[in-house]
């Protein structure tokens, strides 16, 4: 479904990604792990079109998209939930969900749109209970639920998640990942950037380890969790077996 080949990116003259290649197959959950500054968010932004690579290629369902505008990439089915719970705080929860449907609302029927709302409400009853509330007044966990709900309203084929657990209490992290597990079981393809490497490797099927803009390890998540290098560098398990 997604093929990233030898992409390079830079902010001004500072190189960030240095020949990164990776792939995501239909129905897979793939995670990117690495320390701060490794290039994980930069890679996600390049895939969604926010940042244009200086070299290399990005193919989605056989089409080259590295030079395609972000809004067109969204309409193709790559939908990103950026880090920091990006919602429209001065608008109501319902208005935010309606804005989430903007890329597809002209292509679907009223019944389909209604079903989309009901699907999100089923995943996040906390969101449904606050439809007329200003989104900015929601708790951090509720805002993250709303951000994911908005993305789902866009009918993603590939969902990009950047640090969905960031700043949330453990009970809310569990709640978010329970919902992501439902989406995984429904066959949604997901590319996940997550600060909690243990959680990410437990949830995903395959993983890539980024370090200073390069892929240094990749493979099945069970194999990565068992790796001495990953245990010591990212899981805090020096000398311990998982």
CATH number at residue 13: 3.40.50.300
Beta carbons within 8 Å of 67's beta carbon, 6+ residues apart: 52
Helices (H) then strands (E): counts for the chain: 10, 10
pLDDT value at position 75? 94
- Which whole-number Å values give the CA distances from 32 to 8, 178, 220, in the listed order? 17, 19, 12
Model-level pTM? 0.93
How many domains does the chain contain in total? 1
Mean pLDDT by 10 residues, the chain (242 residues): 96 91 97 92 96 96 96 96 90 96 89 95 94 95 95 97 93 94 97 93 96 94 91 67 41
Specify the pLDDT at position 236. 64
Give the per-residue pLDDT at 86. 84
Residue 98 lies in a domain: no
Domain membership flag for residue 131: no
- Asked whether residue 85 is assigned to any structural domain, the reply reads no
Is residue 128 situated within a structural domain? no
Q: What does each C-alpha distance from 176 to 2, 46, 191, 213, 223 come to in angstroms?
A: 25, 25, 15, 28, 25
Any domain includes 9 = yes
| Residue 237: predicted pLDDT | 54
231 falls within a domain: yes
Distance CA 18, CA 76 (A): 26
Q: Domain limits at 6?
A: 1-76+194-236
Q: Is residue 211 part of a domain?
A: yes
Phi-psi label, residue 128: left if phi above 0, alpha if psi -120 to 50, beta otherwise: alpha
Residue 4 to residue 117: CA distance in whole angstroms: 33
Domain-located, residue 21: yes
């Amino acid at each position: 479904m997604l093929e990233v080949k030898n992409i390079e990116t830079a902010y001004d003259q500072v190189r960030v990604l240095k020949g990164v290649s990776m792939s995501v197959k239909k129905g897979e959950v793939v995670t990117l792990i690495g320390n701060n500054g490794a290039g994980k968010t930069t890679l996600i932004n390049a895939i969604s079109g926010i940042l244009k690579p200086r070299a290399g290629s990005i193919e989605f369902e056989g089409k080259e998209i590295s030079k395609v505008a972000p809004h067109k990439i969204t309409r193709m089915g790559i939908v990103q939930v950026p880090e920091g719970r990006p919602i429209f705080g001065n608008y109501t929860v319902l208005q935010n969900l309606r804005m989430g449907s903007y890329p597809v609302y002209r292509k679907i029927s009223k019944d389909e749109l209604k079903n989309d709302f009901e699907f999100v409400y089923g995943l996040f009853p906390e969101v449904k209970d606050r439809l007329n509330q200003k989104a900015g007044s929601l708790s951090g966990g509720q805002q993250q639920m709303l951000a994911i709900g908005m993305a789902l309203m866009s009918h993603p084929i590939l969902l990009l998640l950047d640090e969905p657990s960031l700043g949330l209490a453990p009970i809310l992290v569990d709640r978010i990942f329970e919902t992501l597990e439902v989406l995984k079981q429904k066959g949604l393809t997901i590319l996940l950037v997550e600060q909690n490497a243990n959680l990410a490797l437990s949830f995903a099927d395959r993983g890539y380890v980024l370090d200073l803009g390069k892929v240094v390890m990749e493979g099945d998540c069970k194999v990565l969790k068992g790796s001495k290098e990953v245990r010591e560098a990212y899981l805090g398990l020096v000398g311990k077996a998982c």
